[in-house]
Amino acid sequence: MNVERFSVPLSRPLSTAAGTVDERTGFLVWVTVDGAAGVGEATPLPGWTEPLDACETALRGVSNPVATLDDGTLAGAPAARHGVSLAVLDARARAADRPLYRHLGGDADREAVPVNATIGDADPGATAEAAVRAVDAGFPAVKLKVGARPLSADLDRLEAVRKRCPDVALRADANGAWTPATAERALEALVELDVAFVEQPLAAANLGGHAALAGGPVGVGLDEGVVEHGAEAVLKAGAADIVVCKPMALGGVDRARTAAVRARAAGCEAVVTTTIDAAVARAGAVHLAASLPDVPACGLATGGRLADDLWDDVATVADGVVPVPQGDGSLPPE
Ligand SMILES: [Mg+2]
């Protein structure tokens, strides 16, 4: 197994649990399995995965890439396991002469996956302008970051978007910022604005609080909570209507797919999102989404956050969809 460090610059700074970063640094992982070559990507993100140093140590300690996926040695290093598992899956899909999403279990050809636009915190006018631009660009869904302002101010922003974009699927992501009382008020108010769901209204630790909010007309999505507790515990607690599956944070495309499939079996919806990854991991996330029938708009339109990338034309969004690479394995031919 070969491990190669990379850094790609971001087009604008990204705030993380460890402060603001202006580049994404990670590792390309190259394996050969049963005579076929495969490539994966391990790109840690503070707050979501192990730190960079721990990821590198974990990767450099791998001697048998296939065995290491299940022997527990990469427990606690989800980004490292993501890199190794994606490389192994890519090799196996290539050996089987099929695209990764079919190898993962996708039961039909899928040319494209719908994606949402994400709109950061801004005043109501600027927020609505950004939403109009997204709708004009073909995005079927927009997600507003909320929770940085008082609830009344966020409601003004959502209302401004709804007025200008009457038909768009509207979502909000509070990233755990609300108290239970604020979240309850928010979910009531959002019914009228036809908001489909709110991601992570409460702190990740509060599974019981989310269970009390879930099941209403405005759905509850868990993201940070799925990473903290695992999808199994989230579903058992009835804490989500929508399970957000981030392959890099959940330890791989395979594990994220297991979470998505279980969520659907439990009557929940699943959406796939990146952690602002580079092209190889974005391709893996696109294949995961493509392997899920009728997947709703996913958070895969993140390639624009990078000013440079590892691979050309991977997960490039047009008309609100991301095309699914149809060659063998994960990546389009270079
Ligand atoms: Mg989120």
User: DSSP string covering 62-76, please?
Assistant: -S-HHHHTTSSTTTT
pLDDT at 15: 85
- Which pair of structure tokens corresponds to residue 132? 């109009």
Query: pLDDT value at position 80?
Result: 98
Cα 203 to averaged position of ligand 1 atoms, centre (Å): 12
Cα-to-centroid distance, 242 and ligand 1 (Å): 11
Instruction: Report the DSSP beta bridge partners of residue 99.
Output: 329
Tell me, in angstroms, the distance from the centre of ligand 1 to residue 155's CA. Answer: 18
Q: Ligand 1 mean position to 172 CA, how many Å?
A: 9
Assigned token pair, 111: 């040319």
Task: Please tell me the distance between residue 164's alpha carbon and the centre of ligand 1 in angstroms.
Answer: 24
At 320, give phi and psi (nearest 5°). 75, 10
Task: Tell me, in angstroms, the distance from the centre of ligand 1 to residue 176's CA.
Answer: 9
Distance CA 299, CA 319 (A): 15
The Cα–Cα gap between 94 and 107 comes to: 17
Strand partners of residue 6: 26
Distance 322 CA to ligand 1 centre (A): 19
* Pairing assessment for the beta strands 36-42 and 19-33 based on DSSP bridges: antiparallel
CA of 285 to the centre of ligand 1 (A): 15
- Whether the predicted model's global pTM rises above the 0.75 cut: yes
Helix residue spans in 61-213 (DSSP H): 65-68, 78-95, 100-103, 124-136, 151-164, 180-192, 207-213
Closest CA to 38 of 92, 109, 115, 108: 92
Residue 230 has phi, psi (to 5 degrees) of 90, 150
Give CA–CA dist 178/44, Å, rounded. Answer: 26
Give the separation between CA 297 and CA 271, rounded to whole angstroms.
7
Give tens-digit pLDDT for 38-92.
Answer: 999 999 999 999 999 999 999 999 999 999 999 999 999 999 999 999 999 999 9
Domains of the chain: 2-97 (3.30.390.10), 112-323 (3.20.20.120)
Q: Which residues of the chain have pLDDT under 70?
A: 334
